Structure 1
Amino acid sequence: MVLLFVPLLFWSLAGYWYIENHTLAANIQQLEEAGRANHEAVARYTARLKVLMAKDMSHTTERSMLMYMVDCANAQLVLDTITFTENGFIITGISTAPEVVLAYSQKLKSVLKGVTINEKQGIDAVRKVHTFQLSGHYGKSDDTKKTTNKASQ
């Protein structure tokens, strides 16, 4: 009986190891293919980045301002639209609280020197969120021009 049991045990272990080895080889092949795909994606991204960096990357005022506008926003703000006009810009979006919009407009005022920002806020009854619209104007505001003209008279 033992003579029959020992070879059966060895054949069972050999079969188990063969199946495990085959499964491990299949998993390794899948990982290698995934790694190859990731490597190709990184290589394409790097090549595209080199092409972009070779171009003239001089930033216009609007591009720089757009970067600051998006950079100043935090997780409690969602910027819906940013529109540039001839003498300024308009930002619309939603926020978690009115204080967040006030802090955002103050931060923009400190970052974008020489820009006057007016804000309007409301509550969207359908979505139950705070909405806002910031309008910015380049140069001095009309109020400072009026006080300057009054002082000079």
Structure 2
Amino acid sequence: MKCIWRCVQKEGLATFYKDDDEVRRPVRRAEALPLGPMDKVDDVWLDVIAESPAGAKVRAFMDYVTTTWVEGRQFGPEVWNLFGNPGHQTNNDVEGWNHKINKLVRKSHPNVFEVVKLFQREQSKSPSNGSEQTGQPHPGRESTGILTPACSH
């Protein structure tokens, strides 16, 4: 998860992550939280906290994961947990589409009219009317409509 790595960098842990298994382990376990059962997230994260090394930087990282992801109201496990999700577990399809659109635009800041025309052209080329990809969240989950936050500590 990019947000986890951004927090590692913001807290000054990137060098420690590369050189120290004791720092790398809790970061990797934080990145793996979405892959485990949702009802185990709290217990797993408490174990990670108990086993993590001491230090203000590590503590700030752990606090970020706890408050934003594990206990977070906007980004709680019901939003980001992938365990048992039969759908996509990556955003590679979105990244590929974004790359294609960027190549077609050929400039860094197109105006809204150019973007709308581009989207209309792309939609007219598509054999689909979009009905099979509804954009709805995974069943049983509510969409927050909010982008992931940056490290807040």
Higher Cα radius of gyration:
1
Give yes or no for TM over 0.5.
no
Query: Taking structure 1 as the reference length, what is the TM-score of the superposition?
Result: 0.25
Higher relative contact order (CA 8 A, sep 6+): 2
Is the strand fraction higher in 1 or 2?
Answer: 1
